[in-house]
Amino acid sequence: MANKLQQPPHLHLAELSATQFIDIWNHFDTDGNGYIEGKELENFFRELEISRKGAGVDPSNSTFKEKMKEFMQKFDKNADGRIEMSELAQILPTEENFLLCFREFVGSSSEFMAAWRRYDTDRSGYIEANELKGFLSDLLKKANRHYDDQKLQEYTQTILKMFDLNGDGKLGLSEMARLLPVQENFLLKFQDIKLTSEQFSAIFTFYDKDGNGYIDEQELDALLRDLYEKNKKEVDTKNLTGYKKSIMALSDGGKLYRSELEIVLCREPML
């Protein structure tokens, strides 16, 4: 990526501005895949140790490896061996904790889906820059954070830089959900069973028996169970209830329309 820093930014565990945070992220996420992993992770932890202890940190040392293991146990919440954005926000407090105050505003995936529905005003399956600004403004008010227009613009641009992976100036639902704590990000559970437009259309039409363009909660239950079975995944009733609640937060008075379900289950929403 062209905007990589020549020298790593210092990882002082003091408060960072939003811009410093994204500089650190971009420096260590060298392949731009949204994770710090492998050699990137070792470099990141080495810089973290240097900022704490000064020079003389040797990654081949067994003590270094042990400390890195402890570090990962503490911060790698989903134990996938890599650090994602929401996990890094716990390690490096940002100015006003602007990423973490998202958690105060949206504590669960069902609240997140309800907020998404409120701000995806044109029902496009994306939040665009002007919609994102409103979303963040509301977030900061709810978290009782003081901000001015300049700060709000900086936060909006930082969120776009962090999560707009394809650079189109807008955020899809799955991109925005990366702000959620890993255990609350129910969209991750559907990553392996994302459908093509044709597959989604076929399964939605099957469950929308009367062809009125929406399904209800019971039909959604059957549809999700069907998806799990077809993909040879074990159905956990408790988790399924949570997923249903989160998805139904997108519904209109209990009616879940095709376009709403599509942004959860489809690889790319239809245009």
pLDDT digits (tens, 9 = 90+) for 166-206: 778 888 877 777 666 655 666 666 666 678 888 888 889 99
Which amino acid makes up residue 40? E
Mean per-residue pLDDT, 48-62: 71
Write down the pLDDT at residue 5: 44
The answer to whether the predicted template modeling score (pTM) of the entire model surpasses 0.75 is no
Percentage above 90 pLDDT, the chain: 2
- Name the DSSP class of 118: H
Write down the pLDDT at residue 110: 73
Write down the pLDDT at residue 3: 46
* 257 sits in which H/E element: strand 256-257
Chain segment 101-146, per-residue pLDDT in tens: 666 666 667 777 777 888 887 777 788 888 888 888 877 777 677 7
Cα–chain center distance at 261: 18
Question: And the tokens for 112?
Answer: 């997140």
Q: Is the confidence at residue 270, as pLDDT, over 50?
A: no
Write down the pLDDT at residue 271: 41
